[in-house]
Amino acid sequence: MKGLFSALAIAGAIGMAGCSAGDDVSAGARGQCAYGGELADCPDAARTAEGACWRLVDCGAIAVKSGMMNGRFDWDRCVDGLDSLTTDRRTLVVNCIAASSCDNLRMDGSPDDPNTDQNYCLVLGR
């Protein structure tokens, strides 16, 4: 009986090793560098309106294209909105988005119908 138990334990360990994440697995937007900043030596997000809006898309905060949902906040509206700000406000919002975590960038309704009043970076531009 002890031999059978040992054999099952070894087989289980080998089976579990086959389920571990390998080199072909990508961490995605919520990976090690998903929170921005320099503490973990992660690269900064691009400090442009387009770069900030892509970060919002990558974090699942906004959609790339709202499609049939006219009037919803998507990548195009994000870029247009940031480009319409004064230079000082745009810089403040872009830097805030670049340094924020993905969890902090997501809002109720993200990504399809985000409530932009809940995103403190976007509120800074108002």
Average pLDDT over residues 63-91: 89
Average pLDDT over residues 65-88: 88
One-letter amino acid at 100 equals S
Percent share of the chain, pLDDT over 70: 62
**pTM for the whole thing?**
0.67
* φ, ψ of residue 63 in degrees (nearest 5): -90, 155
Tokens coding 9: 């334990």
- Is pLDDT of 11 > 60? no
pLDDT band at 46 (very low <50, low <70, confident <90, very high): confident
Residue 55 contacts residue 105 (beta carbons within 8 Å): yes
Residue 74 contacts residue 120 (beta carbons within 8 Å): no
pLDDT band at 16 (very low <50, low <70, confident <90, very high): very low
Strand partners, 63: 74
- From CA 9, how far away is CA 14, in angstroms rounded? 9
Average pLDDT over residues 16-38: 47
Which of 11-25, 77-91, 106-120 is least confident? 11-25
Which of 24-33, 93-102, 114-123 is least confident? 24-33
- From CA 35, how far away is CA 29, in angstroms rounded? 9
Q: What is the DSSP letter of 43?
A: P
